[in-house]
Structure 1
Amino acid sequence: MTKHYDLIVIGSGTAAMVASHRMASAGRKVAVTDYRPFGGTCALRGCDPKKMLVTGAQVIDDVRRMTRRGVVAEDAHIAWPDLIAFKRTFTGPVPKKQERRYADRGIDAYHAQARFVGPNAVGLDGGERLEADHILLATGARPAPLGFPGEELLITNEEFLELEELPERIVLVGGGYIAAEFSHIAARAGARVTILQRGGRLLAHFDPDLVGWLMEKFSEVGIDVRTRTTVEGVEKTDRGFLVRARADADGGQPMTVEADLVVHAAGRIPDLDSLDLQGAGVERDGRGHLRLNEFLQSVSNPAVYAAGDAAQMGPPLTPVSSHDAKVVVRNILDGNRHRPDYRGVPSVAFTIPPIVGVGLSEQEAREKGLKFRMQSQLVPHWYTARRLAETVYGFKVLVDEETDLVIGAHLVGPHVDDVINLFGLAIRHGLTAENLKTTMFAYPTGASDIGYML
């Protein structure tokens, strides 16, 4: 028997939740299907549980910095099993809560892998067939293939967040968000951490000057960062794992690193391969990304839309998934009249301290030929850093010379993960530098430094 819906959503993360709830509120018949527990990456396997572990590491760092400055805590340390148990107090209830929310809104929820069996139809693992006027792909992302022998021996970010015990020696392969954040967590929990990054620096999406300042914190906690280093294979040994790599900086010299655990931190790609997209005539480009128009709609099958990491149109961030879902629903209900707007979306890497950015980078502004003024400074002597005994605090802010509009802001240091939102607000809604400078922010807070950054 075939069931018909106005919308089928494949996935159950942020984009799926937002889209399904909005369509149901509009009186449409909606189904959601996911072969994994309901909740998606951010709530179950990414942002939220990671930030809970970061909180534990942050406390340890606070104690370390404030020791001999009035704080005495000789045995402060992370009890890893207890920290994971605390994390599960959040992640554990999520799937059931999601299921109740779907039921309360009259949304049919299926625990099954969906595969296209026609332009408007999917088949589920259990044999059911569902048809819909529209289908939304909100499947998120998965770890990218690594292409070297032994890659199956690496654990993913999801498995790291479920470790019952933290091994002594950890190697992270890659140099983006996952490598930077997990290394700070693991090192402050007592592990010896090595990062092997093929590129010339970590955190390529962030300002290179600020990343350079942040590297002091990696060294401070003993994280061994090896850039321009290509991993060529991983082997299982009696003592754990042996990672074989080649360091470009040393003339291509081979090296080996012993580890008890090797973590995949080398990027993620849209999770689309299991959907049998060809069964619906949904086309992908040469990179494997969906071919979408400006309305987040498949160019080859107008019944199909995509949002979030599956769409790969905006930054791979949770707020973008929510934004995309709203755009898709409006286009389904109103006709294709709405386009996503990714202006002023802040990015944060939750290292300790965090590094953030929004808007144009210095390089992008120069490539566009813009005339801008720029303030950039490392300011550990400012009160915001001094009261926390933090040695890394700095900024780079770009302002258009002609309009006085803020066009880019890049910060590293305490509280910048909150402060960057004010710069994002300025960029998205056209506030000038003068608007920000004449705003009276609460003092002393991180935001009260904004006037001095402009």
Structure 2
Amino acid sequence: MTFDYDLFVIGGGSGGVRAARVASATGAKVALAEEYRMGGTCVIRGCVPKKLMVFASGYSEMFDDARAYGWDVTEGPFNWPRFRVHMHKELDRLEGIYRKLLDGSNVEIFDARASLKDPHTVILSTGQEVSAKHILVATGGRPVVPEMPGSELGITSNEIFLLDEMPKSILIIGGGYIASEFAGILNGLGVEVTQFYRGAQILRGFDDEARGLVAEGMRAKGVDLHLGTNIVEMRAATKDDLKGLTEGVPMEDGHPAVVPHKSAGHGIWVKATNGTEKVYDQVMFATGRAPNTDGMGLEDAGVTVGRRAEIVVDEYSQTNIPSVYAIGDVTNRVQLTPVAIREGMAFVETVFKGNPTAVDHELIPSAVFTQPELGTVGLTEEQARDIEPVEIYCTSFKPMNHAFAGRDDRVLMKLVVSKATRKILGCHIVADHAGEMIQLVGIAVKMGATKEDFDRTVAVHPTMAEELVTMKEPVRSA
């Protein structure tokens, strides 16, 4: 049977673009469809703009630090419109690079939504139908908004980058990395931030000691974090809501000491499970993400979809339909951009180079750009002690730069070590630039380094990271 293409990729994110380019380099005829903007979640509405906002938000503390270090600086308000223009110029530049890379790789681009008609046919939103020997679904994920009255008033991480103005107050609902990162970002940009999380501690799944220090640090920086708390009801604020919120409030010069930021009809009234009622300028839902599989025609093609809407694949990213593959967040395996890229490369090795290659999803280093920042690789203390006896090497201290500036920020350096093999099973860092440090530690842990290998490494002094190789005695066994 003759096909229009050897490979048709649905989704122009990092994984899909990489797979398309590398497959084309093998001589395959490749096309790619993207319904929105090239670059996907990471480049357009995720990692990249978020990290730029992290950088921007960090300057609020740098002004105080600079004065402590002898600089005369004048602090002004954050100019969101000016920053937003520069941020979107950068995103436009990156999208242009993605398109140029595809064009240079002879990948045909369709700026349209694509869905499956059958195992070898793709339908485009333009009405065109094309056939392909292989179809790769790389459509990523999307934010989930809970079904409740008034939820349409809230925003998600998709919209946060598009706001016309910074809110003066915001309620962030959720306790995962997206919620916690944006709590720190917006707090640093001068927004009054409240965060609700229904669980006992934020960042579920991460090391308990590390996430506890992150939560403590967030509160110290001004985030009003409420654990064991959820939203009961929300709606557009009324004049009576605002009046009720100021009744009984301490007065200063004949005016309420605390006044809701929005005038009647422009704020969002929220009632919480802890009984509090308040009006916020914005409410942001960061309550999880779901694979982008709705309306994809997967059922028509016979592709198996899991109970969480994920495309079910084997270790080679192949679905139950031999011609259809899927990579990245749409498979709900590991939701990280570098993993999607690895999966795309492995797909090409398997399908177009005849070299069956499975992606190793073990010991993947990652960073959470909270403030303070968290870097992690391997098992948490809680996970490791359920598997085998371990020793915990841990230290917490004020880093030199913060101590000198009079700040109370603390650093955590933690190693989880197997008693039997002495291998480092996990490493967890809470500190400035923890992500940069964990990338390098991840190499050692992936190679199977032991505690003694760390001990034999000479420290780089004076640095925070030197503590990773100078902890001689365990603080506890588990």
TM over 0.5: yes
Specify the alignment match of 2:262 in structure 1: none
Deviation at 1:437, TM superposition (A): 2.9
State the SS of the aligned residue for 1:92: helix
1:292 and 2:310 matched: no
1:47 CA drift (Å): 0.6
Equivalent position of 1:256 in the other structure:
277
Structure 1 residue 15: Cα displacement: 0.3
Cα distance in 1 for partners of 2:404, 2:132 equals 58
In structure 2, relative to structure 1, the CA distance for the partners of 1:279 and 1:397 (3 Å cut) is same
Give the secondary-structure state (helix, strand or coil) at the position aligned to 1:196: strand
Q: Which runs of 5+ in 1 are unaligned?
A: 248-253
1:158 alignment partner, SS class: coil
Alignment correspondent of 2:450: 432
Q: Which amino acid aligns with 1:393?
A: V
Look up the match of 1:13.
13
Shift of 1:75: 1.8
CA deviations over 1:14-42 (Å, ceiling 9, x no partner): 10111011101111111110101111111
Q: In the TM superposition, what is the alpha-carbon distance from 1:385 to its structure 2 partner?
A: 5.1
For 2:365, the equivalent position in structure 1 comes to: 346
Q: Give the Å deviation of 1:94.
A: 2.6
Specify the alignment match of 1:251 in structure 2: none
Q: Tell me, in whole angstroms, the C-alpha distance in 2 between the residues paired with 1:387 and 1:8.
A: 57
1:390 offset after TM fit, Å? 5.5
Equivalent position of 1:419 in the other structure:
437
Give the 3 Å change call, closer, same or farther, for CA 120–387 of structure 1 in structure 2.
farther
How many percent of aligned residue pairs carry the same amino acid?
31
Shift of residue 308 of structure 1?
1.2
Deviation at 1:384, TM superposition (A): 6.3
Kindly report the root-mean-square deviation, in angstroms, between the aligned alpha carbons of the 2 structures: 2.0
1:415 and 1:446 in contact (8 A); partners too: no
Aligned to 2:383: 364
Q: Say whether 1:310 aligns with 2:310.
A: no
Structure-1 separation of matches of 2:352 and 2:76: 55
- Specify the SS of the correspondent of 2:159: helix
- Secondary structure of the residue aligned to 2:126 is coil
The corresponding residue for 1:172 is 172
Q: 1:346 to 1:331 in 2, by over 3 A?
A: same
- Scaled by the length of structure 1, the TM-score of the pair is 0.92
Indicate if the aligned counterparts of 2:63 and 2:75 stay in contact, CA closer than 8 A.
Answer: no
Q: In the alignment, what sits opposite 2:304?
A: 283
How far has the Cα of 1:76 moved from its partner? Answer: 4.4
Aligned partner letter, 1:448: E
d(CA) in 1 for partners of 2:71, 2:175: 34
| Contact 2:115-2:297 within 8 A present in 1 as well | yes
Q: Deviations over 1:243-262 (max 9, x none)?
A: 23313xxxxxx432311111
Relative to structure 1, the CA distance from residue 387 to residue 15 in structure 2 (aligned partners, 3 Å threshold; closer, same or farther) is farther
Mapping for residues 51-450 of structure 1, pairs under 5 Å: 51-237=51-237, 238-247=265-274, 254-298=275-319, 300-314=320-334, 316-335=335-354, 337-368=356-387, 370-380=388-398, 382-383=399-400, 386=403, 389=407, 391-440=409-458, 442-450=460-468
What amino acid is aligned across from residue 147 of structure 1 in structure 2? E
- Structure 2 stretches of 5 or more lacking a match? 238-264, 473-478
Alpha-carbon distance in structure 1 between the residues aligned to 2:169 and 2:281: 5
Say which SS state the counterpart of residue 22 (structure 1) adopts: helix
CA distance in 2, matches of 1:230, 1:335: 51
Partner of 1:397, secondary structure, is strand
Change beyond 3 A, Cα 1:320–1:239: same
Deviation at 1:432, TM superposition (A): 2.2
Shift in CA distance, 400/83, structure 1 to aligned 2, threshold 3 Å: same
* CA distance, structure 1, for counterparts of residue 184 and residue 471 of structure 2: 27
Cα distance, 1:311–1:66 mapped onto 2, change above 3 Å:
same
- Residue 55 of structure 1: CA displacement? 0.6
Post-superposition offset of 1:3: 6.4
Distance in 1, Cα, partners of 2:325 & 2:354: 13
What is the letter of the counterpart of residue 8 of structure 2? I
Contact 1:360 1:407 in 2 (8 A): yes
Q: For this pair of structures, how many residues does the alignment match?
A: 443
Judge conservation of contact 1:406–1:423 (CA < 8 Å) in 2. no
* Alpha-carbon displacement from aligned partner over 1:308-351 (angstroms, at most 9, x marks no partner): 1011222x111111111111111212457322102221221112
Mapped partners of 2:462, 2:28: distance in 1: 49
Aligned pair in 2 of structure 1 residues 219, 74: CA closer, same or farther (>3 Å)?
farther
Q: For the residues of structure 1 that align with 2:417 and 2:402, how far apart are their CA atoms?
A: 24
Matched AA of 2:295: S
- AA matched with 1:15: G
Distance 2:323 2:79 in 1: 50
* TM-score, length-scaled by structure 2: 0.88
CA drift of 1:211 comes to 1.8
Instruction: Report which stretch shifted further, 393-402 or 333-342.
Output: 333-342
Q: Does the 8 Å contact 2:373/2:431 carry over to 1?
A: yes
Distance 2:411 2:215 in 1: 12
Whichever residue aligns with residue 227 of structure 2, its letter is T
Distance 2:145 2:120 in 1: 30
Deviation at 1:100, TM superposition (A): 2.0
Q: Secondary structure at the match of 1:414?
A: coil
Deviations 1:371-429 (A, max 9, x none): 2211122221x546545645220122111222221110111012221111122112212
Q: Take 2:83 and 2:198, find their aligned partners in 1: how far apart are those partners?
A: 31
Write the distance in 2 (CA, Å) between the matches of 1:387 and 1:435.
32
Looking at structure 2, the residues matched to 453 and 357 of structure 1 have their Cα atoms a distance apart, in angstroms, of 18
Where do 4+ consecutive residues of structure 1 move more than 4 Å? 387-390
Q: 1:329 to 1:360 in 2, by over 3 A?
A: same
1:250 matched residue in structure 2: none
> 2:145 touches 2:285 (CA, 8 Å); kept in 1?
no
Q: Using the alignment, how far apart are the partners of 1:385 and 1:360 within structure 2? A: 29
8 A contact 2:10–2:33 mirrored in 1:
yes
| Contact 1:373 1:399 (8 Å CA) reproduced | yes
